C-alpha cells in the first residue's frame, strides 16, 4: 500500500484506480462486520435470502443489523423499522455536508450518488482536497460501487462462514480504529479537535439512550458548538 493512499490529495494516480485502492484499505476492517452480519441473519431465524436482501435494499450495515436483529427478536415491524431508521439518521448529516460537492454535477449523479453514500465513502470524500467536479464524480462512483460489490459479496459469504470466526481474534476492533484514523485526518484546526472531543463525551454521557440515538444528539450539539466557535473566530 503506497503511503498516503487514504488521503486523496496526496497521490497523483487517476481517480478510479485511487478510489479502488482506498476502498480496499477501508473495506478490510469492515470484513469482520460483514461476516458478523451473516451470523446475525442466521441467528435471527429469517430465511437467509430475505436477510441478505437488506444488503442491496438498504446498503447500510448498522441499520441492517438493527433491523434483522429486532425482527429476529420478535419486535413489531414498525418498531424494528423505526429503530433502523434512527440508526441510519446520521446520513442526513452526510447529505447536507456533501451537498455542495454535488452542485454542478449531472442530475443522474445527484440521484444515484446518495444510494452509495455510506460511512466509509463519506469519510473518504469529505476529507478530499481535490475540488475538481469530474475527479470527485469518478472517484465517488468508483469507490461507491467497489464498496457496494464488496459488501454484497462478503455479507453473502458471512451467511456461511460468519459463525466460524473466533471472537477472540478481536477483528471488530479494527472498525473504531479506522474511524478514529479518519477523524484524525479530518481535524486540521483546534476548533475541530474541540468539536470532536465534545461530541465523543456527549455520546458517552448519552450512551444508554434507546437505539444509540445519543449519537445523533451528540453530533448535532457538536455541530452547534462548531457554529459558536466559528462566530467567535469572526
Stretch 94-133: interaction string toward other proteins, x if CB under 8 A: xxxxxxx-xx-x-x--xx-xxx-x-x--xx--xx------
Task: Map the footprint of other proteins across residues 171-230, applying CB under 8 A.
Answer: 173-187, 191-193, 195-204, 207-208, 212, 214-216, 218-223, 225-227, 229-230
CA distance 108 to 116: 13
Output the smallest distance, CB 15 to other proteins, in A.
18
Q: What is the DSSP string of 66-128?
A: HHHHHHHTT--HHHHHHHHHHHGGGHHHHHHHHHHHHTTS-HHHHHHGGGG--HHHHHHHHT-
Long-range CB pairs of 48-54 (<8 Å, 24+ gap) are: 48/159, 51/159, 52/155, 52/156, 52/159
- Spatial neighbors of 221 by CB under 8 A, at least 6 apart, are 198, 199, 202
Which of 20, 31, 42, 81 binds other proteins (CB under 8 A)? It is: 81
Q: How far is the CB of 163 from other proteins (least distance, A)?
A: 22
61 vs 162, beta carbon nearer other proteins: 61
Q: How far apart are the C-alpha atoms of 211 and 233, rounded to whole Å?
A: 36
Cα–Cα separations (whole angstroms), residue 145 to 3, 44, 148: 24, 28, 5
Interface characters, 129-158, with other proteins (x: CB under 8 A): ------------------------------
DSSP 8-state assignment for residue 6: T
Q: Which of 161, 170, 122, 205 is nearest to 37 (CA)?
A: 161
Among 18, 38, 40, 60, binds other proteins (CB under 8 A): 60
- Is residue 159 involved in binding other proteins (CB under 8 A)? no
Q: Which is nearer to other proteins, 145 or 179 (CB)?
A: 179
Nearer to other proteins, 39 or 209 (CB): 209
Stretch binding other proteins (CB under 8 A), from 128-136, 146-154, 156-164, 169-177: 169-177
Among 12, 131, 170, 190, binds other proteins (CB under 8 A): 170
Amino acid at each position: 500500500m503506497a503511503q498516503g493512499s487514504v488521503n486523496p490529495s496526496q497521490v497523483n494516480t487517476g481517480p478510479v484506480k485511487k478510489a479502488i485502492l482506498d476502498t480496499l484499505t477501508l473495506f478490510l476492517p469492515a470484513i469482520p462486520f460483514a461476516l458478523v452480519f451473516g451470523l446475525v441473519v442466521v441467528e435471527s431465524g429469517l430465511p437467509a435470502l430475505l436477510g441478505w436482501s437488506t444488503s442491496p435494499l438498504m446498503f447500510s450495515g448498522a441499520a441492517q443489523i438493527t433491523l434483522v436483529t429486532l425482527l429476529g427478536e420478535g419486535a413489531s415491524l414498525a418498531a424494528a423499522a423505526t429503530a433502523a431508521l434512527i440508526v441510519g439518521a446520521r446520513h442526513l448529516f452526510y447529505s447536507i455536508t456533501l451537498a455542495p460537492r454535488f452542485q454542478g454535477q449531472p442530475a443522474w449523479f445527484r440521484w444515484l450518488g446518495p444510494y452509495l453514500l455510506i460511512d466509509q465513502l463519506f469519510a473518504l470524500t469529505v476529507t478530499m482536497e481535490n475540488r475538481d467536479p469530474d475527479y470527485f464524480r469518478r472517484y465517488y462512483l468508483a469507490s461507491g460501487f467497489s464498496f457496494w460489490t464488496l459488501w454484497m459479496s462478503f455479507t453473502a459469504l458471512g451467511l456461511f462462514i460468519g459463525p466460524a470466526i473466533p471472537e477472540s481474534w478481536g477483528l471488530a476492533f479494527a472498525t473504531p480504529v479506522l474511524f478514529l484514523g479518519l477523524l484524525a485526518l479530518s481535524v486540521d484546526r483546534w476548533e475541530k479537535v474541540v468539536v470532536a472531543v465534545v461530541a465523543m463525551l456527549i455520546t458517552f454521557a448519552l450512551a444508554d439512550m434507546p437505539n444509540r440515538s445519543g449519537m445523533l444528539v451528540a453530533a448535532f450539539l457538536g455541530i452547534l458548538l462548531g457554529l459558536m466557535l466559528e462566530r467567535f473566530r469572526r
